[in-house]
Amino acid sequence: MSQLRRPHWPAALLVVGLLLILAPLQERIHSARPRLFDPEQRVRRASAITIGPTAGVIAALGGFRTVAADLLWLRVERAWHGGNWWAIIPLLDAVVELDPHFLLAWKVYGWHCAYNLHVEAQTLVDKRYWLQRGLQVLERGVEANPGRWDLYFELGWTYYDRAHDAYRAAEWFRRADEFPDAPAYVTRLVYRPFERILDFDRLFPAIEYARAKHLDDHHHQRIVNRDLEWWTTRQDDPQEHRRQIVIENTRRHQRAIPFHMYPDNPYWDVCPRCGMPSAKDAQTCANCGYERPPEGWPDVPLIR
C-alpha cells in the first residue's frame, strides 16, 4: 500500500523550515505593530481586559471598535440635539474608551465638561469638579494620542480660557507647537497667556520664539510684530495693566473661577473681599486692607 503513495517527509521538512522563518517575523510584526504604524504614538492595548468583557467581545471582535464608537457617536448627536446634556457623559466615555484615537470625541468630551456642565453646575464645588474633569479627560486624550497636536492645543486652550491658568496653558501650547503640522495660531498662543497675566519676563522671549517660526506666513509675522510693538511700548504703563486686569475680570466667562482663585496657582492669590490680585503669602490685602483668614478656615465667597 505504501508504495502507491509518495513519501511526505520532504514536504513536512519544508513546512518546518518555513515555519521557523515565519514565526519570529510574525511575532515581530505583532509586537511592534502599534509603534510601526506611527512611530510617535503609543496605542493603548485594545483587549477585553482593559475595556471590559462585554464591550471588548462585541467591539474588539474583528476590530469593529471604530464602528461601535461611530454608532455611539450618533447617539451622542441625538442626545445633544435632544438637550440631554447629562446623558452624553457616559456615551462619550464609552466612545473614547472604544476608540481612543477619535480626536473629536475627546475634544467634545473635554469641552462639554469644562464649559457646558461647568456652567450648568449650581455650586462652586461642582463647578470646580466639572472643570477638573474636563482637564483630566483632555489629559487622558493626550496620553492616548501623543502624536497629534490637536489635544495638546485643546488642553492648553481649556487652561487658558476656562481655568485661567496661564502657565499651564502656555506650557501645553508650547508642546502643541512642537509638532510640525501645528498651525500658526498655536505658535501665537504660546505667548498670549503671559499677556493676560502681565508676566513680561516670559512674554518677550515667547514673542521672539513665535517670530522665529512661520517666516513665510505674512499674516502670522504681522500679528506677532504688532503684539511685540504693543507690549514694548506699554510694558511700563500701569494704566494698561489695570485695564488688562479689568478686562480679565469682566469677560463674559465671569462665572468661571478666575485664575487667581484657582487653588493650585503658585503665583497669584486674590483678596476675597475686593477680588484684586495680591501676592500669595501676603496676610493683608494691599488694595483694601482685608486680613486673610488663617489656614483651614472655610472659603469666603467672593463679594463684588
Residues near other proteins (CB under 8 A): 1, 3-6, 8, 10-30, 32-33, 36-39, 41, 45-49, 56, 60-67, 69-70, 73, 77, 99, 101-104, 147-148
> Half-sphere exposure of residue 55, counting CA atoms within 13 Å on the CB side?
20
Distance CA 143, CA 251 (A): 32
Choice between 71 and 286, CB closer to other proteins: 71
Distance CA 135, CA 154 (A): 9
Taking CA atoms, 234 is separated from 59, 203, 204, 230, 240, in Å, by 58, 13, 12, 6, 7
Cβ at position 145, least distance to other proteins in Å: 9
Choice between 70 and 171, CB closer to other proteins: 70
Distance CA 291, CA 55 (A): 56
Distance CA 38, CA 53 (A): 28
Distance CA 108, CA 114 (A): 10
Choice between 48 and 274, CB closer to other proteins: 48
Cβ at position 229, least distance to other proteins in Å: 34
Q: Is 303 helix (H, G, I), strand (E, B) or coil?
A: coil
Cβ at position 13, least distance to other proteins in Å: 5
CB of 34 within 8 A of CB of 42? Answer: yes
Cβ at position 175, least distance to other proteins in Å: 19
Choice between 141 and 193, CB closer to other proteins: 141
Cβ at position 16, least distance to other proteins in Å: 7
Cβ at position 234, least distance to other proteins in Å: 38
Cell numbers 488688562 correspond to what residue? 244
Distance CA 189, CA 154 (A): 12
Taking CA atoms, 118 is separated from 81, 144, 244, 256, in Å, by 19, 24, 25, 8
Choice between 22 and 282, CB closer to other proteins: 22
